[in-house]
Amino acid sequence: MLKLMMAMVVGLTCVSAPAWAQDKKDVLTESQALGAALASNLSAYQTAAIVAARTQDPEVRSYAMRVVQDYEKANRDLLNLVEKGNLTVADSPLRDKIVSAANKDMGTMWSKEAGAELDKQFLTYMIEDQRNDLTNFDQSMIPGARSKDLKDVLTNERMVANEHFQQACTLGRRLGAETEGCPTAPGTR
């Protein structure tokens, strides 16, 4: 399924955004928002798939599999909008940044030995990635969505990203991951 999703995303025709669309700070055009969301979903999907296959901790495996399933569904939902002919996919500096970071992070996940260090690295990655996604949804992608269908899918993805973030924070605290930016744990100051 991963190869199919990658082929679908890579095979989509990208169109350039008009110059005037770049004038609004941080807000993407609808096509750029779609491109950034697809890239972000694929990044989390691929990284979680690597960890799900390599982790030895059952909770981390369960979490990674949930991430894989959720982002597989999210990209299917986005690609369905493209297939309906309602939307096109465009590149953007945000999408480029997501792809660049994803390539680095996937290499890191493959270089770690299976075990506690891989789990900590993955949870640290997910905390940072999902926190960034929440910001990107709020500042760039959702405001750029013009169609109700895309806005609905992106809003739902934002809710899922928040759930992933919260769960990564909880697991990360238990396993010693870097939890900077996580909400304060209940019972702590």
pLDDT class for 93, splitting at 50, 70, 90?
Answer: very high
- Give me the pLDDT at residue 11, please: 39
Q: Rounded to whole angstroms, what are the CA distances from 11 to 85, 92, 180?
A: 15, 17, 37
pLDDT class for 101, splitting at 50, 70, 90?
Answer: confident
Give me the DSSP letters along 117-184.
HHHHHHHHHHHHHHHHHHHHIIIIIHHH--SHHHHHHHHHHHHHHHHHHHHHHHHHHHHT---TTSPP
- Give me the pLDDT at residue 10, please: 40
Neighbours of 23 (CB within 10 A): 8
Structure tokens belonging to residue 72: 């597989």
Amino acid in the structure at residue 109: M
Spatial distance between the Cα atoms of 67 and 186, rounded to a whole number of angstroms = 24
DSSP code at position 21: G
pTM reported for the whole predicted model:
0.80
Digit-coded pLDDT (tens) for 106-144: 666 666 677 788 899 889 989 999 999 999 999 999 999
Average predicted confidence (pLDDT) for the chain: 82
CB 9 within 8 A of CB 39: yes
Spatial distance between the Cα atoms of 96 and 36, rounded to a whole number of angstroms = 8
The backbone torsions φ and ψ at residue 186, rounded to the nearest 5 degrees and listed phi first, read: -55, 135
| CA dihedral (79, 83, 87, 93) positive or negative | positive
Structure tokens belonging to residue 16: 């350039």
Q: What's the maximum distance between 2 C-alpha atoms anywhere in the chain?
A: 50
CB 82 within 8 A of CB 9: no
Own/partner pairs, 157-163, CB within 8 angstroms, 24+ separation: 157/37, 157/41, 157/74, 158/133, 158/134, 160/70, 160/74, 161/130, 161/133, 161/134, 161/137, 162/130, 162/134
Residue position matching structure tokens 């870097």: 178
Spatial distance between the Cα atoms of 69 and 58, rounded to a whole number of angstroms = 16
Digit-coded pLDDT (tens) for 44-84: 898 899 889 988 899 999 999 999 999 999 999 999 999 98
